[in-house]
Amino acid sequence: MQETIVEKDCRVSAKDFYDTLLISSAQEAEAAVGYEINVNDIKEGYHYRRETAKYGEEIVTYKRLLPGREYAIKVSRGTKNIQMRFKLVKKDENSCHVVLTQTIMTNKKPDWFSTMVMKKRLKERLKQVEKGTEDRLAKERGS
């Protein structure tokens, strides 16, 4: 098992960050299955299969969805399972602290380099979600 944890203080509310995760998950699922998926489907613990060029078949499952507080997704690829969990802590009305934990169930022992690469990728993911949230809110306000 390999577990990587990164944290970030974000300039968006926990609710808005969580909503962005749900919206992007619904869009990703819709693109994979070819028919409309909405946010309520994701909230109910939706799962789907998709084919990828790099990994073959994957099963994606949305689990442990606590509005504005926690969001988790599990991706199964053959014998490898990857779980990402976002824990959101409200700081005030316009900011939150996010802890992203990625757990990879594998027999391979992690090395220093792969751990550093994974931390960098996860930090970038948090920045992307924060930026996506800011862009979505600006668009909704008409800015």
**Residue pLDDT, tens place only, 42-59:** 988 899 999 888 888 999
Q: What is the pLDDT of residue 9?
A: 98
Write out pLDDT tens, residues 13-41.
999 999 999 999 999 999 999 999 999 98
Q: What's domain 2-141's superfamily in CATH?
A: START domain (3.30.530.20)
Strand partners, 76: 59, 81
Greatest extent of the chain over all pairs of C-alpha atoms, in Å: 49
Per-residue pLDDT tens for 61-116?
A: 998 788 889 999 999 987 789 999 999 999 999 999 999 999 998 777 777 788 89
Q: What is the pLDDT of residue 53?
A: 87
Both tokens of 66, joined, read 């606590």
The mean per-residue pLDDT over the stretch 125-130 comes to 96
- How is the chain split into domains, by residue range? 2-141
Rounded Cα gap, residues 127 and 65, in angstroms: 21
In degrees to the nearest 10, what's the CA dihedral of 67, 89, 131, 142? 60
pTM: 0.89
Evaluate if residue 143 carries a pLDDT over 70.
no
Instruction: Give the helix/strand (H/E) hosting 29.
Output: helix 14-33
